[in-house]
Amino acid sequence: MGRLTVFNTVSLDGYFTDPGGDMSWAHQVKEDAEWNAFVEKNAGSGGMLLFGRVTYDLMRSYWPTPTALKAHPVVARRMNEMPKVVFSRTVEQPTWSNTIVVNDGMSDEVRRLKRESDGDMTILGSGSIVQQLTDDRLIDEYHFVVTPIVLGAGRTMFAGIRDRLELRRLRSRTFTNGNVLVSYAAGK
């Protein structure tokens, strides 16, 4: 059975976007060789990527470009080659390689993917999808990179969840640039 993981960056005060929906602050960290090696090793390292429309549009506007291929060749190659699913009521035809579109029945589709796969699936960004799949208890692990910035306001991934979610800490790792990776498993 496949496993579904969330991998997102959050501010120290728990937001994944600022009040205007911007996430560029998450990528404005100090230069850090250890962090760069971690990103290159782990970003797009296998499995399937799941997105909502907003994150999909953001990712497809960067990763297939010559700029991404020059700046981050290993990560860009992986991101472009990996299978991707975008959950959207408005996207009809995907424009990024190896992408399928699911227009409705997101939770049912995720259940099917988990049942029929032995591989990993990762949600990047996509806060509304994280919230909905958390409500349906379909996410197995949550990995957050806490960035040393305080936004004061913004959007959290868990706004509006129906029931409290208890998590079990798996591990944490601190990087020289101030980022801290915290990983949790769903359930006690």
Let me know: does 52 contact 91? Beta carbons within 8 Å: no
What letter does residue 33 receive in the DSSP assignment? Answer: H
pTM of the predicted structure, to 2 decimals:
0.91
The single-letter code of the amino acid at 182 is V
User: What structural domains and CATH numbers belong to the chain?
Assistant: 3-186 (3.40.430.10)
Q: What is the pLDDT of residues 132-151, one digit of tens each?
A: 999 999 999 999 999 999 99
**Tokens 């993917």 identify what position?**
113
Q: What is the pLDDT of residues 4-35, one digit of tens each?
A: 999 999 999 999 999 998 888 887 767 788 88
